[in-house]
Amino acid sequence: MNQDSANLFVLNKLKPFAIKRMVGLSRDWFNRLLYRDLAPLYAERIWIDLRSCKKSIRIGSQTATSGKIVKKKKIFAKHIPLEDEPTIKKCLMHWLEGVSWKDTGIYDELMSKINRYGSFDGCRNEKDVLGRYSRLDELFCRVRKEKKLRSQQELSQRAFREEGGILIHIGPGGEPYFGGNGNHRMAIAMAAGLHRIPAQLGAIYVDALVKLPVLRQPD
C-alpha cells in the first residue's frame, strides 16, 4: 500500500466519526442559540441515580439523539422495563444468579449475528466471543471492587466528552430512560449495586432542561 492509498484508507475510516462530530457540534450551536446556559450538548456527560432509572426506550442512535431537545411527551410513552432489555437480563442472570454465559444464550445469539454479518461487537469468531465475555467478567470485578463506573474520559484521554457511554434520555420531570447503548456497562452497574453513574446525554424533554445543572454534577 503506497502513501496515497494509506491516507485514503485512514480518511475513509475517520469519515463516519467526523460526520458524527460535525452533526453533534452543529446541534450544540443551535441549542446554545436558543437556550443559552440550559442548552444540552452533544455527548455531554451527565450523572444519574441508577435507582431512579427503571425504564428503557429506543428513540434513535447516539448521533441522532444526543443533545436533542424534544417537545412531545408521547415520544417517551413506548418504554419497557429496564430489566426486560434482553442483553441486560442475560447479564444479570450471569452476575447475580451465577448462570454461565453459555446457558444465558448470549453466546449463541452473538455467534448468530457474526454468522449473519461477518462480525459483530468487535467479534469475528467463537474465540473472540469467549474473550469478550471474559473481559466483561474482569470489568465487573473491577467495578464492584472500586464501587464506581469510570467515565469515558477516565478510560481514554482521547475520548470526546462522554461519547460512546451509556446512553440516557431525560423525559418529562427529569426521569432517566436507558437509550439502548451501553447494555453491558449498564448491567455491570446494576449488578455491582452502584447508585450514581456517568452517562452520555441522549434526547431531553424541553421542560426537563431545568434539571441539567443538577444532572451535570457528579455528587
Residue 187 CB burial class (10 angstroms; 0-12, 13-18, ≥19): buried
How far apart (Å, rounded) are the C-alpha atoms in residues 212 and 209? 5
Q: What's the pLDDT score for residue 152?
A: 95
Q: Is residue 136 part of a domain?
A: no
The dihedral built from the CA positions of residue 192, 143, 148 and 146, taken in this order, carries a sign that is: positive
- In sequence order, the 6+-apart residues with CB closer than 8 A to the CB of 109 are none
How far apart (Å, rounded) are the C-alpha atoms in residues 38 and 204? 11
Cell of 117: 454479518
Cell of 26: 452543529
The confidence band for 5, taking pLDDT boundaries of 50, 70 and 90, is: very low
Q: Is residue 191 part of a domain?
A: yes
- Least reliable range by pLDDT among 11-20, 34-43, 123-132: 11-20
Q: Which amino acid is at 104?
A: T
Q: What's the pLDDT score for residue 11?
A: 38
Beta bridge partners of 197: 48
Per the prediction, the chain carries an average pLDDT of: 91
pLDDT > 60? residue 2:
no
Contacts 24+ apart (CB under 8 A), 99-106: 101/133, 106/133
Three-state DSSP class for residue 182: coil
Q: Is residue 125 part of a domain?
A: no
Q: What's the pLDDT score for residue 67?
A: 96
- Tens of pLDDT, residue by residue over 135-155, are 999 999 999 999 999 999 999
Cell of 120: 459483530
The candidate with the shortest Cα–Cα distance to 65, out of 163, 193, 201, is: 201
Beta strands per DSSP E along the chain = 45-49, 55-56, 69-70, 80-81, 167-170, 176-178, 196-205
Q: Is residue 132 part of a domain?
A: no
Q: What's the pLDDT score for residue 52?
A: 96
Q: What's the pLDDT score for residue 16?
A: 62
The confidence band for 15, taking pLDDT boundaries of 50, 70 and 90, is: low
The residue count for the chain: 219
Dihedral in degrees, nearest 10, Cα atoms 162, 165, 171, 174: -60
Contact indicator for 62, 202 with CB cutoff of 8 Å: yes
Q: What's the pLDDT score for residue 204?
A: 98
Select the more confidently predicted residue: 25 or 205. 205
Any idea what DSSP says for residue 24? H
Q: Is residue 182 part of a domain?
A: yes
The confidence band for 182, taking pLDDT boundaries of 50, 70 and 90, is: very high
Q: The domain containing residue 15 runs over which residues?
A: 3-92+149-215
The confidence band for 17, taking pLDDT boundaries of 50, 70 and 90, is: low
Any idea what DSSP says for residue 165? S
Q: Is residue 181 part of a domain?
A: yes
pLDDT > 80? residue 34:
yes
Cα 36 → chain centroid: 26
How far apart (Å, rounded) are the C-alpha atoms in residues 155 and 45? 14
Q: Is residue 108 part of a domain?
A: no
Number of domains in the chain: 1
Q: What's the pLDDT score for residue 9?
A: 45
Q: What's the pLDDT score for residue 203?
A: 97
